[in-house]
A and B are shown apart, each in its own frame.
Chain A
Amino acid sequence: AQSVTQPDARVTVSEGASLQLRCKYSYFGTPYLFWYVQYPRQGLQLLLKYYPGDPVVQGVNGFEAEFSKSNSSFHLRKASVHWSDWAVYFCAVSTYQGGRALIFGTGTTVSVSP
């Protein structure tokens, strides 16, 4: 069955430190993967997306992610975290069923300490 797992429910990082958020997927075939961010009382904003090709994907605001087929992973990284990165981050995979709905992980809440 298709699924997305984000093993870390919450991560706290110091401002200026690096960040890595983990995402594991289960999918038959070639996955199309996404990372979204959700700020308080807002919808989802796309950070980056992976389509088959270069495994390292650059996104907005200094985020990047690396796809690994062997590890079934799509981890998100940022070299230097800013206080404005305090949010919930969701990994998602596009299904192959009609309409291509997304399957989401349960998110990782990132807290930034001064």
Chain B
Amino acid sequence: NSKVIQTPRYLVKGQGQKAKMRCIPEKGHPVVFWYQQNKNNEFKFLINFQNQEVLQQIDMTEKRFSAECPSNSPCSLEIQSSEAGDSALYLCASSPHRGANSDYTFGSGTRLLVI
């Protein structure tokens, strides 16, 4: 069982709808990552946080995606207006620090289907 908890496991949305998923990082891990894994097993890094602060995010995330990691609440990733191309497995990972030798723990993912 993963120490990173992602909910829901499955999410089905219509095009244009909002899609929100949550992640509880492993205890003691202040750094959180979101990745998108498509059906071709291509991974795309979306955004990462240290505590509540955004460290890095890609352009796609800046425009249609919003994410946060509030204090004492699960982290979340929300797609404001879902598109068919957003259908993918969204993986959350956490790590204990930003150092080069950091470990990463992954959740089981939220599988989003946009119809």
Contacts and interface: CB of A to CB of B under 8 A. Distances in A.
Given A97-B56, A98-B98, A99-B48, A46 B91 contact: no
A106 B39 CA distance: 10
A51 B101 contact: yes
Nearest to A29: B100
A103 B102 CA distance: 14
B59 interface: no
B2 to A, nearest CB: 6
A32 B31 contact: no
A36 to B, nearest CB: 8
Interface residues of A, number: 25
B50 interface: yes
A88 B42 CA distance: 12
A2 B101 CA distance: 18
Interface in A36-66: 36, 41-46, 49, 51
Contacts of A99: 31, 33, 48, 50, 55-56, 98
Contacts of B40: 106
B41 interface: yes
Given A44-B93, A98-B55, A101-B45, 11 more contacts: A34-B104, A42-B108, A44-B91, A51-B100, A51-B101, A88-B41, A90-B43, A98-B48, A99-B33, A99-B50, A101-B56
Across the A-B interface, the 3 shortest Cβ-Cβ residue pairs: A99-B55, A104-B43, A99-B48
21 contacts: A32-B100, A34-B104, A43-B91, A43-B107, A44-B93, A44-B106, A45-B106, A51-B101, A90-B43, A96-B100, A99-B50, A99-B55, A99-B98, A100-B95, A100-B98, A100-B100, A101-B45, A101-B48, A104-B42, A106-B40, A106-B42
